[in-house]
Structure 1
């Protein structure tokens, strides 16, 4: 029996799983932040801890792992890999590889080896790979580098819309009372001065207010509409760069902003942008933990056959629960 290790190292948590050759999960380990950009030593320690826990639960020795695949947030550029290659190599797996967490998110969301993944959690990112194995990433580096949105920026859009409405630069919005209630202020003026005087950052959870009032509020709908259009533009850019306009593939949507049940305020705008250039693209919400993609890639890297039973076993243990209602910026 061969065993495979998959690791999903994100900004808030690291998840490691051990699978046998049939896709049955035999070990699981969790720890904290696995993004080296938030601290190399912190990420190294947490990745090692999650891996050790998974191996211990699986009762599998490290030498028994046929292939280990690490999907890590922040693994975007060569400068990142210069840090990550020795860090992961020192863990000691004979055969291993490192990819960005967008790559394992895509692989977990489609049975094809080509496709596009769109992430909208705390930030945004888009990645694709075509039938020839050519890959392209669009975004993931913040507003100054072309991105718009994600939970953190949407929260700022909520806050500034409330300020603009109070000042008269924006129409009245239901976001005002929702924001004051959430932050515990009696008035916008009080909130305005408190945040300036204390230098407080806008909390990311304000983003959820957009969905709460969007049904009756044009300001909220306008912000979500812009987010949808921007995500559609990113996906379209990836599709064009990779020449996938006439291919049949899945566009996998990942992250709390996209996987909520009320993403109806976003997805029509994404679909409009994408369907105009790739009519055979199929939009789907990720229903398995991204770490499932790491297991699938590990199997494929080692030359193992991935059949439907593998997907069934992975879905049995790694399905994303409450995918339609969860709000957890990751």
Structure 2
């Protein structure tokens, strides 16, 4: 029996999933921040704890793992890998592959080993792999470096939209009442002054207020979500053109909470239009399982195995990590 480990390290959670060569899930682990750009110390601890929790559940040791595949947020450039490889080896990994998190989201969402992944969670990212195995990433940093959106930016868009409606620069918005409730204020001027006086930051949850407001037809919310979709569509088209995939048949996999939980087409619509124009044979699909499943499949493939239809069926719908307590308490 041979064993494989997949790890998905994100900015708020790290998941580990362990299976055998037949795709039987034997162990699971969940921990906190796995992005070294937020905190390398936290990331190392989270990857270690999630991995060892999965190993403990399976009754195995790290040395029993034939191959591990780690898809980590923040694994973007050579400088990142120069930090991450010593970190991963320091945990005890020897036979492993390391990539950015878009690639495991891509692998989890398509039956092909190539395609394009668009991430819209805390931040945004776009990456792809063509049938020849070439890889390209577009974005994944922040607004200054060309990106727009993700929960870490759309929360600000919600806040400033409410401020602009309050001070008369924009029309009234349905975002006002739910934002005041979320932040615990009765009036916008109280919120405005308290944030200014105390240097407060808008919580990520504010981004989720866009969806119910858009569902009620709020023009400001709709404009923000459509802008997000247009920007992600541009990123997808950039990846497609860079990799020469205009005539290929492949999937564009939508990954991240803002794309998979709540969007009714406000973001996806502009993405689909941009993808259709860039690559008419491509299909836009929404990820329906955990990206860590793609990490496990990538671990098997890195060892020369083929993901059979039986393995797909066993693991495609796997998504019960929210039932596992976070071992580090870093949410």
Q: What band does the TM-score fall into relative to the shorter chain? A: over 0.9
Q: Is structure 2 residue 242 aligned with structure 1 residue 230? A: no
> SS of 1:68's equivalent?
strand
Deviations 1:242-274 (CA, angstroms, capped at 9, x unpaired) = 111111100100111111243321111111111
Judging changes above 3 Å, is the alpha-carbon distance between structure 1 residues 86 and 320 closer, same or farther for their aligned structure 2 residues? closer
Q: How far did 1:316 drift?
A: 4.8
Partner of 2:7: 7
Q: Is structure 2 residue 39 aligned with structure 1 residue 39? A: yes
Greater shift in the superposed pair: 88-97 or 203-212: 88-97
Q: Does the CA-based 8 Å contact 1:69-1:98 persist in structure 2?
A: yes
Q: Is structure 2 residue 20 aligned with structure 1 residue 29? A: no
Q: Within 5 Å, which residues of 2 pair with 1:56-135?
A: 56-135=56-135
- Structure 1: give runs of 5+ residues left out of the alignment: 322-329
Aligned residues: CA RMSD: 1.5
Partner of 2:243: 242
Partner of 2:140: 140
Judging changes above 3 Å, is the alpha-carbon distance between structure 1 residues 212 and 317 closer, same or farther for their aligned structure 2 residues? closer
CA distance in 1, matches of 2:6, 2:273: 35
Greater shift in the superposed pair: 208-217 or 16-25: 208-217
Q: How far did 1:62 drift?
A: 2.3
CA distance in 2, matches of 1:228, 1:317: 27
Q: How many residues are paired up?
A: 322
Q: Does the CA-based 8 Å contact 1:288-1:320 persist in structure 2?
A: no
CA distance in 1, matches of 2:182, 2:56: 43
CA distance in 2, matches of 1:152, 1:90: 31
So what's the TM-score if we normalise by structure 2? Answer: 0.93
Partner of 1:253: 254
Partner of 2:207: 207
- Structure 2: give runs of 5+ residues left out of the alignment: 323-330
Judging changes above 3 Å, is the alpha-carbon distance between structure 1 residues 188 and 317 closer, same or farther for their aligned structure 2 residues? closer
Q: Does the CA-based 8 Å contact 1:148-1:230 persist in structure 2?
A: yes
So what's the TM-score if we normalise by structure 1? Answer: 0.94
Q: Does the CA-based 8 Å contact 1:257-1:263 persist in structure 2?
A: no
Q: Does the CA-based 8 Å contact 1:25-1:317 persist in structure 2?
A: no
